Amino acid sequence: MESNAAWIVEGGKPQEIANTAWACATLDVQSPTLFRSIDENAARLVENGNAQGIANTAWACATLNVQSPSLFQSIDENAAMLVENGEPQNIANVAWACAKLGIQSPSLFRSIEKNAARLVENGNPQEIANTAWACATLNVQSPTLFRSLDENTARLVESGIPQNIANTAWACATLNVQSPTLFRSIDENAARLVKNGDPQAIANTAWSFGKLGIHSPSLFRSIDENAAWLVANGTPQNVANTALAFAEVGIRPEQLFRCLLEGGRLEQLLGGANSRDVCNMAWTVAVLGLESDGDASLLLALWGAAVRYHAGEITAENLRQLAQVHVHARASGVTLSPALPPALKARMIEACKSRTTRSSKFEDDYSQLLSEIGFEHEREVSPFVITSSSSGDEYDDFGEFLAIDMACQKLKIAVEYDGKFHFLTELTPGAKENFGKENGITVAKRRLLEQLGWKVVNVPFHDNILLESKEHMEKNKERVEKGGGKRELKKLYLKEKLAKVGAVL
């Protein structure tokens, strides 16, 4: 067939050529002459072909990793016709093919967005998941598509397999799309999804909840109950991404940690892990706190694996994770061994300093309020700057990355203004976004500061909303009428907070 490919394409009907390409892809047969001829005749094949034939041809190219620029250009030029006449499966396959080959197709995705309600309502869970996955992979915002997806959640979760649901959740998290109905339904079906899902689906689902900061005890409990199976059957990336999600939401995976320490499982896992997997797992253990000798042993093993990598093999994000591992361990009384290689330490310091943090207007406002009530403080202070053991210590090198928002070094009081990204979203109906419990990173920083001897005052953003509300003003009407407007009420709030940690103003 390959020797007659040009004749087949030039004389064949679009449907016949599509079927031939589909057969090659299904049988994993490389046919360069055939696909070169398809690309050379792309305009005719797309203009005269039907939606299914076009989709099958695109799918075949993506499956065999064949770049076909003329074909995909013709598809984009005819996108409106393709989407309006095609079935959800056809459109999902074309979108998936574009994403798989990394091809931006603006007209195609605009047409998908325009027809999103129909595609979601008539599509099955796999088609919906593939379309959403394609949008996320190509970083295409598609609000109507994801709104329609959320509205059809019950059917998607009840009839979809775990992989479909995981891919849809992954797409939402990648594009930072809040989809409350979808994630609530996943939480309600957590036991079934974890029991029937493969390690990749479980990892993607957990990662999605962690990335969006969603509190889901049911999901994470189900995952931890199946930790032995996950560690035995999952790849290092599956296990690391799942562990990372636990740390982000602040839930300890007790059984997962225990499983890693049993029967040489950790050594086996590390044998196939890359630097990112190792750093993610080490960061997870450190952020969730070293509560036992087992935690310390696990961290030491992960640290030993991490510092063996060449400094250039580790990303800036993972280098910052290792810096946090270092200071959390030291603050918990754990001496990490082996010591940091000089080249790796230099890269870690560079990565920490390259992470710029900007104060919000709310931080600026509360800093001014603190000054007005007589609380002397500095902004963006290293938590290690006055620790008795830090002089000339490696602690100092990572201080900028974990800086305190507002700190009185004399009294050793830290004031942290916590914006909405410090909190998790609850899944109960009607719950406001990010109004739930503190996330794992926020809890870990407060624990670190307290271990270093700081007294910590946290000012949550939702307290600020309450202080400015009409209800709060009405409740404190007498104070307001005496000249204590919102600003004075905020000062009173800060005085009460500071008094609880022994600050006399």
Is residue 306 one of the residues assigned to a domain?
Answer: no
Say if pTM beats, i.e. exceeds, 0.85: yes
Residue 225 Cα to chain centre, angstroms:
22
Is residue 302 one of the residues assigned to a domain?
Answer: no
Pairing of strands 404-408, 378-381: antiparallel
Is residue 284 one of the residues assigned to a domain?
Answer: no
Is residue 267 one of the residues assigned to a domain?
Answer: no
Is residue 355 helix, strand or coil? coil
Compute CA distances 115 → 77, 167, 228, whole Å: 17, 21, 44
Is residue 371 one of the residues assigned to a domain?
Answer: yes
Q: Enter the tokens of residue 410.
A: 């004399």
Is residue 455 one of the residues assigned to a domain?
Answer: yes
pLDDT tens per residue across all 505 residues of the chain: 666 666 677 777 889 888 999 999 999 999 999 999 999 999 999 999 999 999 999 999 999 999 999 999 999 999 999 999 999 999 999 999 999 999 999 999 999 999 999 999 999 999 999 999 999 999 999 999 999 999 999 999 999 999 999 999 999 999 999 999 999 999 999 999 999 999 999 999 999 999 999 999 999 999 999 999 999 999 999 999 999 999 999 999 999 999 999 988 999 999 999 999 999 999 999 999 999 999 999 999 999 999 999 888 999 999 999 999 999 999 999 999 999 999 999 999 889 887 666 778 999 999 999 999 999 999 999 888 654 444 445 556 676 778 899 999 999 999 999 999 999 999 887 777 777 899 999 999 999 999 999 999 999 999 999 888 888 777 777 666 666 678 888 999 999 999 999 887 7
**Domain extent for 374:** 361-499
Compute CA distances 293 → 202, 238, 304, whole Å: 28, 25, 16
Is residue 170 one of the residues assigned to a domain?
Answer: no
Residue 23 amino acid letter: A
- Residue where a domain terminates, one of 151, 170, 203: 151
- The Cα–Cα gap between 413 and 503 comes to 8
- Residue where a domain terminates, one of 101, 136, 151: 151
Is residue 244 one of the residues assigned to a domain?
Answer: no
Compute CA distances 134 → 97, 453, 482, whole Å: 8, 49, 59
- The Cα–Cα gap between 444 and 485 comes to 35
- Residue where a domain terminates, one of 151, 179, 214: 151
Q: How many domains does the chain have?
A: 2
CB 59 within 8 A of CB 25: yes
